[in-house]
Structure 1
């Protein structure tokens, strides 16, 4: 048995008005249309719902029973709409975001702290993933959005939409007294002659640098691996090795640590910080709000290119 919600609403209008004409007016339909819908409903239920007379209509026992059910059903539908309207307008909801190391460690904590402060009904699952996993997760719907660095020549699958929101690049950080610190031009290959301070095994940046070293036919000479760019910079400052890190965090830690920072001459060192979403479908309200907030540049330095190195 199939119930049409529109038919139930029409039935309730007629029952409460005790008139087909008045019920039709409430439903913004013609009297003939309403009469036809009531007859269809009676046929589906195999029950007479109204006694008709010149004075109007009166509910039959079957009609009385249906009116109780119809009111409960329509009330529940309104509750469902009310509950989900909060999700639609971004006031509530749950987001799953797959992001690269830089996003997870460097700027998303501040972005999310500010975003969530005014949205107590929103929860977020932020997971650090490899670039390939970020793309796959957004493609198959495991993640609502992805955040990664798009390198020169990197292509995004056609079913995804990439939305750049700021620029960054990878640089070489060295101890204050280091042979590479005096050079005007430095490449990643030059840096492979020295021990490296790297991030943990599961980080996207560590994996990316391993691949680039292999492309040169050289190993990545890792001396120590740490969690986070601040720990990496402290190790570099102490003379443990050199490190490849994003320029934005290199400049920040250089202000309080004795580090030398040099641009890399490699084309892949330049990156577009990019939001990745599915090309089809609609984002949850809270996800769309976060996306709009990041793209608008309201989070301050995210929207601007990094400052030049001295």
Structure 2
């Protein structure tokens, strides 16, 4: 804990001197940059080492080398000086209602790496002092990121309602599903519709819920059916294509793969997967201008946003 009565052993000018020497690996070069004599720079470094009671720089006739303690001080001092340099703008940003840190959480079902990169570049340009972090999560892992890991806004949180009063939500629509298999899968040679008894002989490929604290939601699987768990949608699709297992895909993705001849739809008898409702969710207490701006992009169906909603059937919440 900070003690205001305890005098610091090192001041900012000494930190700047040390960082400059460490960066340039030369007393004389640092002296030139800081407009000081080489002797003054050397003396200041010795003063720092004496106050810290540790050697920070190993001096040889050819070059300077940081000791482990020097490496640690260099890392911390650089962070401090960079923060002091940007502090006025950062404080003004907070006063202006712009979030200083922003974690944007994506449901893996609607995640698009290229679109996410373009959105991040746009946000970073518009809000340059904010530290952005993108996170992809599966099922209840989206809510886990929001509830316990400082998520600010989630695109595609499961359900049409917020889990608590800490959040606000807006329905996006639902993901509809198709059951698929490789075009040469044995199930496609039997008469349709396919029964549960026939289906459970073949593995189902699923993506595991990524939640750490909230209860994981079990993916679709018949009793007694072998399950193969994979980390992401691309791997799941490939597993279906090579005939490793069957499973459900968002209908828009499934139809694209079927049109390319890579997958085929399995017509099932009284077996299916209910539509999955998804929402935009944001943290109420700390919502600022970035949150408001993202909501505006969704309202306008901006091109930056459309890749994340292309798989969604925009049904009314009352339908589910």
Alpha-carbon distance in structure 1 between the residues aligned to 2:106 and 2:287: 17
For residue 272 of structure 1, the aligned residue among 252, 277, 289 is: 277
The normalised TM-score by structure 1 is 0.54
Across the aligned residues of Structure 1 and Structure 2, the Cα RMSD in angstroms comes to 4.0
Alpha-carbon distance in structure 1 between the residues aligned to 2:140 and 2:239: 29
For residue 162 of structure 1, the aligned residue among 143, 156, 169 is: 169
Change (3 A) 1:92 1:257: farther
Alpha-carbon distance in structure 2 between the residues aligned to 1:83 and 1:175: 53
| Residue 127 in structure 1 maps to residue 135 in structure 2 | yes
CA contact (8 A) 2:175 2:278 kept: yes
Change (3 A) 1:183 1:128: farther
> Which secondary structure does the structure 2 equivalent of 1:269 belong to?
coil
Deviation, 1:297, is 1.8
User: Unaligned stretches of 5+ in structure 1?
Assistant: 1-78
User: Unaligned stretches of 5+ in structure 2?
Assistant: 1-85, 314-320
Deviation, 1:258, is 1.9
Deviation, 1:260, is 0.8
The normalised TM-score by structure 2 is 0.52
Structure with bigger strand share is: 1
Once the two structures are superposed, residues 147-169 of structure 1 have per-residue CA deviations (whole angstroms, 9 ceiling, x without a partner) of 33535xx7543513221224322
For residue 246 of structure 1, the aligned residue among 230, 250, 266 is: 250
The number of residues matched between the two structures is 216
Deviation, 1:259, is 0.4
CA contact (8 A) 2:141 2:210 kept: no
Deviation, 1:242, is 0.7
> Which secondary structure does the structure 1 equivalent of 2:176 belong to?
strand
Larger radius of gyration: 1
Equivalence for 1:20: none
For residue 195 of structure 1, the aligned residue among 193, 196, 203 is: 203
Change (3 A) 1:157 1:238: closer
Query: Residues 136-147 of structure 1 correspond to what in structure 2 (within 5 A)?
Result: 136-139=144-147, 142-147=150-155
For residue 259 of structure 1, the aligned residue among 263, 280, 283 is: 263
Equivalence for 1:96: 103
Change (3 A) 1:301 1:145: closer
Alpha-carbon distance in structure 2 between the residues aligned to 1:161 and 1:95: 16
Equivalence for 2:301: 297
Alpha-carbon distance in structure 2 between the residues aligned to 1:187 and 1:89: 60
Structure with bigger helix share is: 1
